[in-house]
Amino acid sequence: MWAPDIYEGSPTPVTAFLSIAPKISISANISRVSIYGSYGATLQQIFFFCSIASMILGALAAMAQTKVKRLLAHSSIGHVGYIRTGFSCGTIEGIQSLLIGIFIYASMTIDAFAIVSALRQTRVKYIADLGALAKTNPISAITFSITMFSYAGIPPLAGFCSKFYLFFAALGCGAYFLAPVGIVTSVIGRWAAGRLPRVSQFGGPKAVLRAPDT
């Protein structure tokens, strides 16, 4: 719950670090547990619940955001749920999909925050501020659009491949409820993440009233 506020209030390089490093660290440590040891059914059920909760919270909360970095924060929460699917399975296929997912997620996040850092120099803070970005900086607009489409899992981009491997691993280990929830939240997340490329390419209504910066 603290992630959106921290993402919004921190400098963009710090935000990018917080978005990537903890996920890589915890994924590596839990992967070691999966490879060299084992965990019981109770812990596996807890992983399943946390994965589903993260996916649902990230997808639904992202729909209501008006700021770029807060939207990325909730997308990050959702991606934690997708990545957690890998080690929730407790199988080699799950670990392999986890490694693929964390690599693709880190690449997308570095790209997204690099663009956000460049845009913040031009006072881009709200999603509405991205309007007509395609006219003022077409390279950044196209790159940002491709990155967010990958975030949303649009085929044939890398984000789609990541989710495909993760959901395939979930089905392989018998988590038949986890995969459909992930697919539904991915569809919801496509609408939320798709707002950024839509506004940057075609513009959108400017915010009439904005909350004061804190």
pLDDT at res. 121:
65
> What's the average model confidence in pLDDT over 192-212?
63
On whether residue 145 sits in a domain, the answer given is yes
Separation of alpha carbons 55 and 178, rounded Å = 10
Is residue 152 within 8 Å of residue 78, measured between CB atoms?
no
Which pLDDT score, from 0 to 100, does residue 128 have? 82
Residues constituting the chain: 214
Which domain covers residue 161, as residue numbers?
A: 2-202
Residue 205 pLDDT > 50? no
Q: Looking at beta carbons, which pairs linking 160-168 to residues 24 or more positions away fall under 8 Å?
A: 161/100, 161/104, 162/82, 162/97, 162/100, 162/101, 162/104, 162/105, 163/82, 163/101, 165/96, 165/97, 165/100, 165/101, 166/82, 166/83, 166/85, 166/86, 166/97, 166/98, 166/101, 167/85, 168/93, 168/97
Number of domains in the chain: 1
Most confident of 35-39, 92-96, 145-149, 197-201: 145-149
Query: Does the residue 83 lie in any domain?
Result: yes
Is 67 or 202 the better-scoring residue by pLDDT? 67
| Pairwise CA distance, residues 129 & 151, whole Å | 20
Task: Please calculate the CA angle 114-115-118 and round it to the nearest 5 degrees.
Answer: 90
pLDDT, mean over the chain: 82
Identify the DSSP state of 69: H
Residue 211 domain flag:
no
Give per-residue pLDDT as tens, 4-46. 888 888 888 888 898 898 888 888 887 777 666 666 677 778 8
**pLDDT tens-digit profile of 103-140?**
999 999 998 888 888 876 666 788 888 877 778 888 88
153 φ/ψ angles, rounded to the nearest 5 degrees: 85, 35
Residue 126 is assigned to a structural domain of this protein: yes
What would the pLDDT profile of 47-83 be if each residue is shown by its tens digit? 889 899 999 999 998 888 888 888 888 988 998 889 8
> Measured at the alpha carbon of residue 209, what is the angle toward residues 139 and 147, in degrees to the nearest 5?
25
Q: How many CB atoms lie within 10 A of CB 65?
A: 20
pLDDT tens digit string along 164-186? 999 998 888 888 888 889 889 98
User: Measured between alpha carbons, how far is residue 96 from residues 12, 89, 116 in Å?
Assistant: 30, 11, 30
Residue 63 lies in a domain: yes
CA 183, CA 198: separation in Å to the nearest integer? Answer: 22
Higher-confidence position of 145 and 44? 145
Note whether residue 56 is domain-resident: yes
The pLDDT value given to residue 104: 92
Mean pLDDT of 91-100: 85
Residue 210 lies in a domain: no
213 occurs within a structural domain? no
Alpha carbon distance 212, 202 (integer Å): 26
Backbone angles phi, psi at 67, to 5 degrees: -110, 145
